[in-house]
Amino acid sequence: MPLPVLRPPRRPSRSVRRRHVLAVLLAGLIVAVYVGNSSWLAGADGGRPLLLAHRGLAQTFDFTRITNDTCTAERIHRPEHPYLENTLDSMRAAFDAGADVVEFDVQMTRDGRIAVFHDATLECRTDGTGTVREHTLAELRRLDVGFRYTSDGGVGHPFRGKGVGLIPAIEDVMAAFGGRELLIHIKSNEPADGERLAGYLATLPGSWLPTLTVYGGDAPVAALAGRLPQVRVMSKAIMKSCLIHYLATGWTGHVPGTCDNRELHIPEGYGPWLWGWPHTFVGRMRDHGTRVIVVAGSGDFSEGFDSAGDLNRLPGGYSGGVWTNRIDVVAPLLKGPGPRTR
């Protein structure tokens, strides 16, 4: 019986070797991207969340079937505190309760002033009629801002007669809280409104400007940012530009210039889609002067983290910003060791 002929093992073809090399390189790249964007490896920074009080300490309302035309003052929850949104008392109460940042809304008046008020029209909350723009600041100050609030379908009005003269001008807010962290919401999409606000902010002490953030319509925010680039800003266009570029390049650790000196309001369900969420992402943005605020729900109607149950949905060790409508409830729950992180 003839012996079998032994042949040396066949070397893999060049194409097979090339595929093996590419597979190893791809696996290495996947591992590098995973490690570079892994928050559990980066770990939390030990800081507490930054608490942002929406409209100060305000009355909350039912979000069920809410639309842009819903009068929220007609559907408030049973009042648990005496404060009305966008008033000096509500802002002071928010800071006293533990807010790091207080948000308020601004509207332009007929006499060129900047009033602190949420709605474009007056009928939902006050005893006035028409739009804010149709009235002077002096006329607005005579209104009762709590006139139409009701929690029982109009049977009772717990704040009627208690809100007369409480609409402040932006000068009043700055006189009371200048130098503290404030978030200003321009409630329009008029470029002239951004120019007007920028003109006023430019008169403030320079050391105050880094404590201010402005957001709102694309056009007024762009106008303001062009004049005051040192002020942190946010709009839908700014959010879109930053996050689209980041989604394309963030896997490398690169933060695009479109994300510099911004504020990002991230709906809670969107965060996990961002490279490095939450700790690595928040840290990268912070290094570029950008503040990350997580908001509840879809982010469309100012839903916040307003209860202990809501806070349970935050990522463990999260130290970015948290949007809340009940600073009096959540601040005590989040107190603990470590500084709050700006």
Do 60 and 325 form a contact (C-beta atoms < 8 A)?
yes
pLDDT in tens, 180-235: 999 999 999 999 999 999 999 999 999 999 999 999 999 999 999 999 999 999 99
pLDDT in tens, 128-142: 999 999 999 999 999
pLDDT value at residue 194: 98
Do 164 and 143 form a contact (C-beta atoms < 8 A)?
yes
29 pLDDT band (50/70/90 cuts)? very low
- Give the Å distances, CA to CA, from 246 to 73, 91, 121, 132, 239: 39, 34, 38, 39, 10
Mutual orientation of helices 218-227 and 191-201 as an angle, nearest 10°? 30
12 pLDDT band (50/70/90 cuts)? confident
pLDDT in tens, 153-171: 999 999 999 999 999 999 9
Cα–Cα–Cα angle for 239, 94, 320, nearest 5°? Answer: 35
Q: pTM of the predicted model, to two decimals? A: 0.89
Do 181 and 102 form a contact (C-beta atoms < 8 A)?
yes
pLDDT in tens, 317-330: 999 999 999 999 99
Res. 249: pLDDT tops 70:
yes
Q: What's the CA gap between 330 and 113, in Å, rounded?
A: 34
pLDDT value at residue 236: 97
Give the CA dihedral 86, 91, 93, 94, nearest 10 degrees.
Answer: 100
pLDDT in tens, 37-64: 765 555 566 688 999 999 999 999 999 8
